[in-house]
Chains A and B, each alone.
Chain A
């Protein structure tokens, strides 16, 4: 079953890739959507009929596909594993993926590369599912690289636009930096544990199991677990766009909007969070690494949120918002609240996919206009898009009882109450996160206000901004219009999910029982005490029933829910405050000039250009190429090549072409061999 979940999109990709050129759009779309629908259906069936009925502690389904490599004690299987963590992932990947596929059939209508687009998109689904269902680090890496490749192909999808190509390259190269960390981490895992598998194989316990038995490395100690955890996190920063490798994600918006929604909001960028949560058994052994993750996450969150305030491209706003929300998720991981992080991954997938698709609908309706300064008053023209995007907006802003509210609130509370980090760290990080929540509400409100409220700021001018290519058949002139059903139906579904999606994880303090967390608990390692490294309890020992709110730090039981409720109230207030500020400022003055520093994204790209890319280019051209390569390496290589070529020419003369000479050489060789044997015999 598991393998068909993965293979169905691959089959779709193969069909469309091979014969898609000759098929019409309807059929291509049907194949692509059907293949994803199959894997969605299978994913739901497997999840609800096979995984859920199992007892909580034994919720693992493995499927051995084939043994890829087994040399010495190194073993890598192409095997899949479904447990609660990957279960959650496949549900929203296939579900959201299906909706986005359907949406894309409308959005990409009339595009000359229609089949190419869906080939890549299906291939992406295949790779992403491989990533989350992998049962070892190597197969996970196959998926990891695969999604990177698909992301590259799809960002650069508009092959006639230079900025798309540049953005694709940037994404790929930046990701490679992270992959390097991942690979080293993988090697270290193998060397340390003798296994790269998540589950036991042939009696060798999986590395997570082994890691769980290791002592905690005290804060500030740089041991092997810290090394692995940090290197894995380096990989995660690349894929999930964290400081310092976040720069590629905003540029990646050069790809088609469904791609931004699927890959750069809902699924691929959360792979880093998945990796961190999957390897939580390793991460929790290193308070140092956790602190780094938490701080980077929080810093990314607020950093991107401030940039988001000043962006004018609707997709750029959402891109920075994504970076910021990913920062939240890492903050959650860093404070030991992996389940809260995953919860946010899921809700974020709903509302951010919704917002992106909504923005796509807006762009579509506005005939390829992306600048929100040139919009305004659109709710009149696009009521459905507006209504659905409202849901996303309120969800991300933390409007009570919507999905984003629960997950964000959970992260905030866990940060406040963390036992993973020393002393006041949790409180300080909470402050940053709360401020980010406020900013989030502000910039999202700004975006909504500029797009849907106020006066219409478009008109005669906007035709000039047409991007060539894809909107043939819509008529180049005229008012903004609502998008077709294939586009707004997915929006509606996602809107519903954004509203109710958080109900699976209502915390106890609010009268729920947090099913979501209990469900994930068996596969997520728990934090042990941070201050001294003496393990308080074995990581996997606690039965699920006891847990109220993770992490199960003993001290936490003492907290009564009043603090939590107070903090919840505070974050609700912050959300409303943010929305209020947004309305207050931007409804009156939509074109308010934002700080230049923010508008220029803190000049990070320029800084990288000057500090990293420039010197690298300079060094590589003037030193590495002109001196090291041309003079030294080429000189050496050519020298060696000349040496061998010369030797080769010399030896060639042994080949005289006369059989008698050959026979003579054989005879001489025989005499030498026989003499040696004779010498041994005579000795």
Chain B
């Protein structure tokens, strides 16, 4: 064993290092400043995230390969999902400043938690080994648990945090057990080696591998909030502070999708061996059913929601279902595009909700939105645009991403066309509840006690960014789509650099 053989190439984990170090710096600034230095921390966090974004883009120049004995890989999946994660984190950081000030919460810890969560997600997106998958997932999850309970004196926030923690741990156990069984069957935790073992038919106990895959589906399925592992989502999303909800609904989900793709779509892809084909057809079947179930349950229950955060929680369940349709095409690009679009519009929507809810999330019932359309036109129109985008109305990102996913699935997987039909019917159902808040905002008499919210500079930037993103992806999706469809998406060789 020589040092060179370990593939210790620190540039390969530059984004993770940058984000972690910035998180530590923020901790120190927080520890040595008397009042938390909210603005300073926000600026440091943003600088760090932007630096990480730059380093991700530079990773692209390194070319595909795997590093740290295959623990970490660089491939288009990592690049695109990392960019999405960092964009979500940037928007969350921009929004956090005003949120922390309005709510009078300690500012330093929030930013460092945000940083560590981001680091975990980035690691998850770049994981080439089941161990790193687990590591990244736990870093991201534990910080999310804390963030969900960040409003310490609010019972709903506590409830949210505790439920998330308990159920999250419960599901992580499934994931870990699945990994263990897979390791037992394939003899390695390295995803490429697992794939190689499956492809050559050298699996010790095929049954073990299948059960391992089943358990991992449960674990991943929980994290992306797919039915029937979705029940935690509405409670957690409703109770958590709104911007945390926005961040939790996007960042971790994006990261888990990246790992999910790498383990299943690529690791358990259709291999030329009996067990490989068996495994692939089985998980595709199961996930197709889960996808159909997820979007249907999400959309149907969303209809009867009175609270906008709960409604968006169910909407996020439904969107996970749509993304799963893209997942089943065997190509990462539709999912990556979908998650980017979803992150932008969802964060935008939560940003507006945060502003309208006022301190302590007092006004998150849809009834509280009555008639505000012309009282706070900028916010209302933004929210309307985000909701229409979530519903998939052109020319927004939501439309283009759905179109891309559905079209790819229709063309590439003829046997799953039924699923595309289910998805299309579901998008039609979803229009109903997305339009409801818009109707309430613009066509109902003004609710008493409405105070036009103050919009801080950073919040404004976040809103403008998300709006621009929504339209950019909706009108000019091409540059991104072309970049994503660069071949090849699969790392076939362990090349140590």
Contact = CB atoms under 8 A, between A and B. Distances in A.
Nearest to B403: A71
B303 interface: yes
A662 to B, nearest CB: 4
Contacts of A666: 167, 170-171, 218, 222, 228-229, 231
Contacts of B217: 673
B478 interface: yes
A71 B432 CA distance: 28
Contact of A681 (B207, B227, B285, B403): B207
Interface in A630-683: 641, 644-645, 647-649, 651-652, 654-655, 657, 659, 661-663, 665-666, 668-670, 673-674, 676-678, 680-682
A62 B478 CA distance: 20
B286 A662 contact: no
B176 interface: no
Main secondary structure of the interface of B (DSSP, over half): helix
A68 B476 contact: yes
Contact of B300 (A648, A659, A674): A648
Contact of A677 (B222, B232, B282): B282
Nearest to A78: B476
A677 B214 contact: yes
B218 A670 contact: yes
B235 interface: yes
Contacts of A665: 228-229, 231
A631 to B, nearest CB: 21
Contacts of B228: 665-666, 668-669
A662 B163 CA distance: 9
Interface string B458-481: 000000000000000001111101
Contact of A669 (B210, B211, B218, B300): B218
A69 B231 CA distance: 38
Nearest to A77: B478
A661 B232 CA distance: 10
B54 interface: no
B260 interface: no
Residue of A649, A659, A661, A678 most packed against chain B (CB within 10 A): A659
B429 A69 contact: no
Contacts of B170: 663, 666
Interface in B197-216: 206-207, 210-211, 213-215
B301 A651 contact: yes
B210 A681 contact: yes
B174 interface: yes
A680 B300 contact: no
B176 to A, nearest CB: 13
A55 interface: no
Given A72-B411, A659-B167, A647 B300 contact: yes
B344 to A, nearest CB: 19
Contact of A659 (B163, B302, B404, B478): B163
A71 to B, nearest CB: 6
Contact of B304 (A67, A645, A668, A682): A645
B278 interface: yes
A102 B394 CA distance: 38
30 contacts: A66-B478, A66-B479, A67-B478, A67-B482, A68-B475, A71-B404, A71-B407, A644-B303, A649-B304, A651-B297, A652-B304, A654-B231, A655-B234, A659-B232, A661-B231, A662-B163, A662-B231, A666-B171, A666-B228, A666-B231, A670-B215, A670-B229, A677-B211, A677-B213, A677-B286, A678-B207, A678-B211, A680-B210, A681-B211, A682-B207
Interface of A: 66-72, 641, 644-645, 647-649, 651-652, 654-655, 657, 659, 661-663, 665-666, 668-670, 673-674, 676-678, 680-682
Given A68-B476, A70-B478, A681-B211, 17 more contacts: A67-B476, A68-B475, A68-B478, A72-B411, A644-B429, A647-B300, A651-B300, A655-B301, A657-B235, A661-B231, A662-B232, A665-B229, A673-B286, A676-B214, A676-B285, A677-B211, A680-B282
Of all A-B residue pairs in the complex, the 3 with the closest CB atoms, nearest first, are A669-B228, A677-B214, A681-B207
